[in-house]
Structure 1
């Protein structure tokens, strides 16, 4: 069951959300029909989901340092692999959407800000095997588990960046020419979310795709999403409730869509 604040926001989202026939932008109409609402299968789905299933039954424990949001951020603890998979991994519905987005837009440089055990990163990497994929994780022990998972899936084009995102993101941004795709899943608070977003804007271009996770996870994330929508560089956004898509296409009118998903 959803927490009360999420349930209330979800009800408002459902009241605002359009279906396919309510979208008049050709770009968004095509994206919604061909990518967002696509319900077929791809080769990557069973590979990653079989891995997820095995991790959900993994009782082994590892030491974890939490760099994200919440009152226990920064504390060290011991967690089961199964617990991390159940609570931190993106559900298949949304992780597979990220795969389809990567397959559709064919980004050359992908930043995944929040590796966890690597399931979402794997979907992004399998969406375009010619991409340079940089995945950021603060906790070394979790990063080590993700590395094993990338090896199981044969993903040799994933580069892990380990350490506090406040330190690693600015350094890695200096090493890339441009950002084609970014998934923001590293810290669910207003200030760091906006700081990471603005930092990545320094390497965006007209056809970049930014994806923001957990738009309504908290009042802070809701505020961040509203501010992102109003940023002068942002031209189009698509609110799918749990994630938001951000585009910078200046040849398209500035529009914000709330679509059923």
Structure 2
């Protein structure tokens, strides 16, 4: 005997929470219009990163399976930002990645897709462990951006990179971000509004870039 239709089980994807911070995005885009697509950037390193990583519009091999996976999971940040993390990891090819904060599980899948050989540690919201020489840090909405970066920079090798999500979500975080950018090991930094990225490349001249992403 066939079961009535109302007895069929239905699986719903996790609901997305409304983020009031997103209401500012159109205003930010207009204010940063002249900082798009690498215009006025003379550094070959920065120009390559902006045009071939930040603004890459190609369809990466992992986008579709990851999009299907994220429909079944709670996600800490937008698909757009997770895709950027994938492209950045694919470009940097880190060997040891620290994921700091809550709800970073989906981001982990994008990191793995970008560099399958990378070891990945999910730290939670505590301190970075001693003796771990991470060459990439992704931190989701940390309040203490400065101290977290200082701990990371004290142990990280040259050419490491730190990524902070949510640097514009409060004045305190923005002040912490600016302080982190002044760290002696911070050389090239990028403010993408939703993300802040700091490179520890000692051979590059210190420079800060605003990017309309």
TM-score class, shorter-chain normalisation, is 0.7 to 0.9
In the other structure, the counterpart of 1:28 is 46
Q: Does 1:257 align with 2:191?
A: no
Q: Extract unaligned runs of 5+ from structure 2.
A: 1-18
The structure whose residues are more often helix, as a share, is 1
Q: Does 1:248 align with 2:200?
A: yes
The 5 A counterparts of 1:98-177 are 98-116=85-103, 118-137=105-124, 165-166=126-127, 169=128, 172-174=129-131, 176=132
Question: Distance in 2 between the 1:6 and 1:224 partners?
Answer: 21
Question: What SS does structure 2 have at the residue aligned with 1:134?
Answer: strand
In the other structure, the counterpart of 1:188 is 142
Question: What SS does structure 2 have at the residue aligned with 1:30?
Answer: helix
Q: Does 1:37 align with 2:24?
A: no
Question: What SS does structure 1 have at the residue aligned with 2:201?
Answer: coil
The structure having more radius of gyration, on CA atoms, is 2
* C-alpha displacement of 1:105: 0.9
Question: What SS does structure 2 have at the residue aligned with 1:202?
Answer: helix
* C-alpha displacement of 1:115: 4.6
Cα contact 1:236–1:248 (8 A) shared by 2: yes
Cα contact 2:142–2:164 (8 A) shared by 1: no
Question: Distance in 1 between the 2:80 and 2:22 partners?
Answer: 22
Taking only aligned residues, the RMSD between alpha carbons, in angstroms, comes to: 2.4
Cα contact 1:179–1:203 (8 A) shared by 2: yes
Question: Distance in 2 between the 1:22 and 1:131 partners?
Answer: 34
* C-alpha displacement of 1:257: 0.4
Cα contact 2:159–2:202 (8 A) shared by 1: no
TM-score (norm 1): 0.68
* C-alpha displacement of 1:18: 4.2
TM-score (norm 2): 0.82
* C-alpha displacement of 1:7: 5.9
Question: What SS does structure 2 have at the residue aligned with 1:247?
Answer: strand
